[in-house]
Structure 1
Amino acid sequence: MKVGPVGPVGPHPIGKTAARAPSLHEHETGRPVPFAELLRRHRDRSGLTQQQLADFATLSVRAIRDLESGRVRRPRRDSVGLLADALRLGEAERRQLHAAGGSPADPRAPLAELPEPPAPPGALVGREAELQVLLDQVTVHGHRLVTVVGISGIGKTHLVLEAARVLRDRGWRVGWHAPDRDPCRCGATRPTRPTRVNRATHATRAAGTIGSGSGSVSGLGGTPAPAADVTDDLARAIGDRHELLVIDGDDPPGSGGVDVAELLRRCPGLRVVVTGLAPRHLPDERVLPLTATAVPPEAPDMDVDHARLSEVASVALFLSHIRRSRPGFRLRDDNAHAVLRLCRWLDGVPRALEYAAGWCLVYPPELLLARAGRDSSLLSPPTGCTCHNLLRSLARSVDGLAERHRRVLAEVADRPYWTLADLAPLVPDPAAALHALLVQGLVRPVGAHRPERFTVLQLVRLLHESERTLTGPLTAADRAA
């Protein structure tokens, strides 16, 4: 029986057909097929010439000829993976091709299962619009790569976890990759979500497929694997079993990172949502800047509507955190204005609000407000660990800026507000500079009533003050660490 050739580009241009062998993987004697013969059979079945296969696999024609002639008996694992992608092999055929080539990391070992996204940490407050935009980007518009960008502590992880929960409820198959690259400097171990693997966990770990403890695919023993290995392991684990992969963490290609462009190329049915401090600047990337939550307008001490104040996103989030330790806390005349000013002073940054609310077990809001700006420990969790100090995290975002944009940020940091025109004397491309600062969430509009005026986040001001004095929570040694 003749089978019409079908391949990645449709029928063969000259209509060549190939007789289908009774078994693609065994000789009639039952012995395994050598790699050269197995590759020829797969190519013939796909109706591809050697040149076409070389083009699809991004290999040379000479390499294909050497493989099919048997001159190369043990091809590189990466080359076999490229050939399997170009031939559109299923998982079983892919493993058999690797086995025939004698790949070092034996693909016959059972594949890892990517962990599912963990449950969101509570209700998502004040992000309803951003959540809908993210869902629409993935589902309605079908974008394959969406990057959620913002400073550390702005709520990127919470947003993508909520989006993953919604999509899983709709029947989507969602995978999760969250490498732990930021160990606590005080020696404490950050809690991680265990990786869910199949029954052959130990065999797979022995093959170097699953990392330990991070809920991600990586090298053995927690050692970051090269980007190519991490990407390869992810591509093999995803196969055709996942429609969406959420990568939580700023992982540019490099040691332990993920080559997102390569991953999308190898998994044509996959869509990726990634969180990061800055865009990746990849083709067809859609960027969703995540800015601070809404803050209440300034009001006189005796003119605060408690009900309306509690509906403002930053205030609602602050109250939800403070009630974890003080369940009976309510807005009153003697604390409402302090809560209002705290939320404004913290710019509505979710993690800053969470830390401040934790300290309210010790200091009431009025006293906490009085200490704001003088006690940098209030920008760390009240657990004795200062490794998650927000200023240290914020320094990573500032360091990631282009040098000219860092100079602009330093110049306007002390101004209460400024306009695009004010940047013209500072940089040749003021619009591009303002765009970069807004996308990364380091500046924000003063308010809806003055959209043409912008201001630097209070946390950025504190960071610049700390660097000028070198006596605050961020020292030169901290920055180099």
Structure 2
Amino acid sequence: MRVALLGPFRLTAPDGRTVDVGGLRVRTLLARLALEAGRPVATERLIADLWGSAQPAGALNALQSLVSRARRALDGSLALRSDPSGYALLIDPDDVDADRFARLAADGRRLLRDGHVDAAAASLREALALWRGGALADFLDAPFTEAQVARLDELRLTALEDRIEADLRAGQQVDLVPELQGLCARYPLRERLTSLRIRALYACGRQPDALAVFEALRRRLDDEFGVEPSRELKDLQLAMLRGDPALAPKPEPRRSSSPAVLPTRLSSFVGREREIERTRAELADARLVTLFGPGGAGKTRLATETAAGVSDRRVWFVELAPLRDEQDLTPAVLTALGIRENRLLEGPKTHALSRVGELLAAEPTLLVLDNCEHVIGAVAEFAQEVLGRSPQLRVLATSREPLAVAGERLLPVGPLELPESTAVARQSAAVRLFADRASAARPGFALDEDNIGDVVEICRRLDGMPLAIELAAARLRAMSARQIADRLDDRFRLLTNGNRTSMPRHRTLRAVVEWSWDLLTEQEQTLARRLSVFAGGATPEAISGVCADAELAAGDAFYVLLSLVEKSLVEAVDSGLGMRYRMLETVRAFCAEKLDAAGEEDALRSSHAAYYVEFAESTAPKVHEADQIDWMERLDADHDNIITALHWATSSGDADRGIRLVAALCWYWSMAAQHDELIGRLNAVADLPGAAPAASRAAVELMRRLVAEEPDWFSRLRVAVAEVRDTGARSRYLYAAMMEPMAWMLCGELSEMERCVESALQDAHPWARAAGLYCRAWGLEHTGNPGPAEADMLASLAEFRAIGDRWGTASTIQSLAELRSQRGDHGGSIAALQESAATLRELRCTDDLVSVLARIGLERLRAGDPAGAEEELRRAAEFGQNAFPHHRIGALSGLAEVARQTGDFAGAWERIAELRELVGDMTMTPQPLRQLVKICESRLHASEGDFDAARAGLAEALVTGLDLRDMPMTAAIAEQAARTEFAQGRPEPAARLLGIAVALRGQLDEGDPEVRDLLRTLTGSYDAEREKGAALSREAAFEELRAALGA
């Protein structure tokens, strides 16, 4: 992190982002601490420096509050330490511009004293360049600033005098005279400046003017103060009168009679600050640096800004874009160097090169060669030749491909940084550039809550490319940001309003890309247009598999691809799973037009879809294995391609590919928490007419029915699961080993479920066996057999652990945690849930994780820790704000229960209202979720004493779950009914209802403190009544519960 105090306050992250630390008071605190850079400032001193005589009541508390706000704003990026000696900002002094300036200025003075004039000037210029305005400009009203500003201003002026001294010794007196005239007018009594001005004038041969300056100062000192000039100034006057040889003019560095100048920069420079620093650092270390990247990335501007800051070399700028032939290169350089000698321009090439080498060797020089790509061979040869002839030369080239010369240092120039979200958009380089250019196009434009989302969308869709962003911002003269964003699908017609003074290829977006396209070979153009069918990049294998044919052999495709990377038409990205290759969206859109014009679009999109169907079918089974994270990441990396293939299949009516693709990946999408998207994809392909594998259709239909509840849900589910059975879908789709028995269980077909489980337990694949055990345990628990269920869960967990399937491991642990909770083993349940949460984090199953975090909170409540429970549940609710609604139910219902148990009934009703709204917004609401909401309402009614409403809510919950007959949920209804009866003074019915809960679930929920308390109360004479209820069959118990509630 870097802190800037020499101008407006600025805190800059290591990646170049400006960090917003909040209000003026926090910034003032950080500025004061930064002035000490790691050294503690006493508490009393800080209070005085921040508030002066206007200290607030409780100043110490106010300071501590300010420190807390600062720490939150810094968010760990900088440490703010407190100890008995005071407060300190733990930062390297060199990362505070005021300290860095002081160090560089001191280094410059030392170098000057030792006679190292050039190095001194460089150090002093670097120091002075750190000033962006007045010192501590944002804090001039703070009590501590007056002395600090005076100190820093004096250091700045001294450094300026030292730099002028260095330049004067280097013979630059002609340039210094006007600068010193202005400085002396501003500081008329500063004798060192006057001395420097006198010496510069004298060195220019202007002895009378130099003596006149001395005399003017002498008279002013006498008139205003009655004093004489210093001894040093008097000695200087005497030396001039004597013609002291030491004051003789020094020869100025050789200059061209027609020096080249850098292109005029009429707009501000935004967003490449780090790249400038890096380019200058590379030029200090390497003799040839090439800025390479796609057209419109801002290479020319970056080179210009870099060169503008070079102070220790003569800079020449050569614009190569107008050249039409490689033979024109050396004459163009000579012209830029101010040479108009026809005999050189028309003579042998070696003569011209010799003259260029001679000119560039005369002094330390930086030669900027801009836009090299269309004469790349000639530039490479030229650069190698002149660097060999000119030892003091540095070359900075810009190109869309490297020069490929020995010793070349490459610096890629790509898109500007894009914002991760609208919340931090204002810090993004791309958004800052848009805002800057937009304010020029439409005075008064500013980013606000209404337009920030549109601006972010524009910048993202334009890949963060500077030229495209500038062209889009210029459209604000006649359009809104929203209108621009809406029309970016037609970007080549929209973005045609470039600066009329720019080169033709920078005036429209199409021209930028067309310039690069025209430089490609025929094979490169063929592959480039075919690459446009990929979305989000691709592997070399995918590119070869989709794009190769008789025209472009598979063996050639990879090498043509590398050539496109070299020419900045394609980006190579190391994904961590191997190299991937992608086009910027604007390039892709251009190449898509070329693909359509070539009549290849349908064939290439069909080839693309075929490749990704095979990729999905071969990859999907591996998400059940130990390397599932790697394989999920591979699917993540190609997800855009998969969706593109799916859209093509559905839009073209290709049922085979569409259904196979969805059938293969629906388990992956479910694990990846893409629930809404999964429903949409299942619906999109399920009814596609045409031939498709029967097993694939059956798998799609089963998943569709499992995730989308409809009025005739059970009948449709029964048909779908029968199709899975009859087509043998489990042999093709491993996940069916879990989905099929669960579906039979939900349909109430226990014999079919048992058949599926037995078949799975005999399967050769260990995942199918683990799934079979899990489903049998789930069925046993569902029907009220917790003991055998736990045994199967433990066996299933052992299988999933052996396989390495994290999802299966986490899910099984959650089921075991539930059984432990019901026994009252809160510590064991929480430990299991925490293990499940850690596993889900590793797998990045965020939606499932929300549910587990909520269950941890609820378990803390059941263990008697409402404060800890509320903290966990709030964290789960906040973490799950964007989760699938089903997974958010647990956190909200848990918070409602915390509020109820702590007597905050109003707060509990607020949470229940949120629950109702959430359930009402769901496209499909499983019966257990609706039952849960009704149970929450019933508990709250009972706590408020409204027992009729409590009983009615339980009756509705019971009726809601009639089809499923979920025994644990039904037992929970019976337990709540028992509490309601007891609260009304009816202990016998309450005891019998507790027994009914045992008959339904196989055990009471002794982890629920209210059930536990009720059980302790209803002992002795009530035991017999409870035992009678427990002895009922499940069907009889269910019917008695239904009668007791009037359901």
Q: Distance in 1 between matches of 2:359 and 2:258?
A: 6
**Distance change (3 Å), C-alpha of 1:376 and 1:253:** closer
Structure 1 partner of 2:536: 417
Structure 1 partner of 2:288: 145
Structure 2 partner of 1:397: 516
Structure 1 partner of 2:582: 455
Q: Deviations over 1:136-186 (max 9, x none)?
A: 2111xx211111112222101111111112222xx2222222245179xxx
| Residue among 262, 268, 271 paired with 1:126 | 271
Q: Deviations over 1:394-423 (max 9, x none)?
A: 233244456555444333212212332423
**Distance change (3 Å), C-alpha of 1:317 and 1:456:** same
**Distance change (3 Å), C-alpha of 1:393 and 1:270:** same
Q: Deviations over 1:352-407 (max 9, x none)?
A: 11111111111111111222222523332256897532323323324445655544
Consecutive unaligned residues of structure 2, counting only runs of 5 or more, are 1-254, 325-334, 549-553, 599-1047
The alignment status of 1:351 with 2:471, answered yes or no, reads no
**Distance change (3 Å), C-alpha of 1:405 and 1:262:** same
| Residue among 425, 443, 464 paired with 1:327 | 443
Following superposition, the deviation at residue 275 of structure 1 comes to: 0.9
SS in 2 for 1:467: helix
**Distance change (3 Å), C-alpha of 1:372 and 1:243:** same
**Distance change (3 Å), C-alpha of 1:373 and 1:390:** same
**1:115 touches 1:195 (CA, 8 Å); kept in 2?**
yes
Structure 2 partner of 1:4: none
Matches within 5 A, 1:180-199: 181=322
The alignment status of 1:240 with 2:362, answered yes or no, reads yes
Structure 2 partner of 1:466: 593
Code of the residue aligned with 1:154 in structure 2: it is: A
Sequence identity, in percent?
A: 25
Q: How many residues align?
A: 322
Q: Which structure's residues are more often helix, by fraction?
A: 2
Q: Which has the higher contact order (CA 8 A, sep 6+)?
A: 1
Following superposition, the deviation at residue 464 of structure 1 comes to: 1.7
**Distance change (3 Å), C-alpha of 1:415 and 1:179:** closer
Q: Distance in 2 between matches of 1:149 and 1:401?
A: 16
Structure 2 partner of 1:372: 488
Structure 2 partner of 1:174: 315
The alignment status of 1:205 with 2:314, answered yes or no, reads no
Q: Distance in 1 between matches of 2:371 and 2:578?
A: 31
**2:419 touches 2:427 (CA, 8 Å); kept in 1?**
no
**Distance change (3 Å), C-alpha of 1:450 and 1:254:** closer
The alignment status of 1:161 with 2:277, answered yes or no, reads no
SS in 2 for 1:381: coil
Q: Distance in 2 between matches of 1:434 and 1:258?
A: 25
The alignment status of 1:273 with 2:396, answered yes or no, reads yes
**Distance change (3 Å), C-alpha of 1:111 and 1:326:** closer
Q: Distance in 2 between matches of 1:122 and 1:226?
A: 42
Q: Deviations over 1:283-324 (max 9, x none)?
A: 222221211112234x6xxxx32xx11211111111111111
Code of the residue aligned with 2:283 in structure 1: it is: V
Code of the residue aligned with 1:178 in structure 2: it is: E
SS in 2 for 1:414: coil
Q: Deviations over 1:430-451 (max 9, x none)?
A: 7766655445443447999999
The alignment status of 1:252 with 2:375, answered yes or no, reads yes
- Most deviating of 127-136 and 437-446: 437-446
**2:402 touches 2:410 (CA, 8 Å); kept in 1?**
yes
**1:410 touches 1:464 (CA, 8 Å); kept in 2?**
yes
Give the number of the structure whose alpha-carbon radius of gyration is greater: 2
**2:369 touches 2:398 (CA, 8 Å); kept in 1?**
yes
Code of the residue aligned with 1:148 in structure 2: it is: L
Q: Provide the aligned C-alpha RMSD in A.
A: 3.8
Following superposition, the deviation at residue 274 of structure 1 comes to: 0.9
Following superposition, the deviation at residue 248 of structure 1 comes to: 1.3
Structure 2 partner of 1:135: 280
Matches within 5 A, 1:33-48: none
Structure 1 partner of 2:410: 287
Q: Deviations over 1:101-144 (max 9, x none)?
A: xxxxxxxxx965541434545443222332222112111xx211
**1:119 touches 1:165 (CA, 8 Å); kept in 2?**
no
Structure 2 partner of 1:115: 260
When normalised by structure 1's length, the TM-score is 0.57
Q: Distance in 2 between matches of 1:227 and 1:253?
A: 17
Following superposition, the deviation at residue 277 of structure 1 comes to: 1.7
**Distance change (3 Å), C-alpha of 1:195 and 1:175:** closer
Q: Distance in 2 between matches of 1:454 and 1:253?
A: 24
When normalised by structure 2's length, the TM-score is 0.28
Q: Deviations over 1:458-478 (max 9, x none)?
A: 21122123334559xxxxxxx
**Distance change (3 Å), C-alpha of 1:312 and 1:467:** same
Following superposition, the deviation at residue 272 of structure 1 comes to: 0.6
SS in 2 for 1:174: strand
SS in 1 for 2:411: strand
Structure 1 partner of 2:93: none
**Distance change (3 Å), C-alpha of 1:412 and 1:332:** same
Structure 2 partner of 1:262: 385
Structure 1 partner of 2:477: 361
**Distance change (3 Å), C-alpha of 1:278 and 1:229:** farther
SS in 1 for 2:289: strand
SS in 2 for 1:374: helix
**Distance change (3 Å), C-alpha of 1:295 and 1:157:** same
SS in 1 for 2:516: helix
**2:294 touches 2:568 (CA, 8 Å); kept in 1?**
yes
Q: Distance in 1 between matches of 2:576 and 2:417?
A: 13
Q: Distance in 2 between matches of 1:452 and 1:154?
A: 22
Code of the residue aligned with 1:145 in structure 2: it is: L
**1:228 touches 1:259 (CA, 8 Å); kept in 2?**
no
**Distance change (3 Å), C-alpha of 1:383 and 1:123:** closer
Code of the residue aligned with 1:164 in structure 2: it is: A
Consecutive unaligned residues of structure 1, counting only runs of 5 or more, are 1-109, 184-193, 198-203, 210-218, 472-481
**Distance change (3 Å), C-alpha of 1:269 and 1:195:** closer
Following superposition, the deviation at residue 270 of structure 1 comes to: 1.1
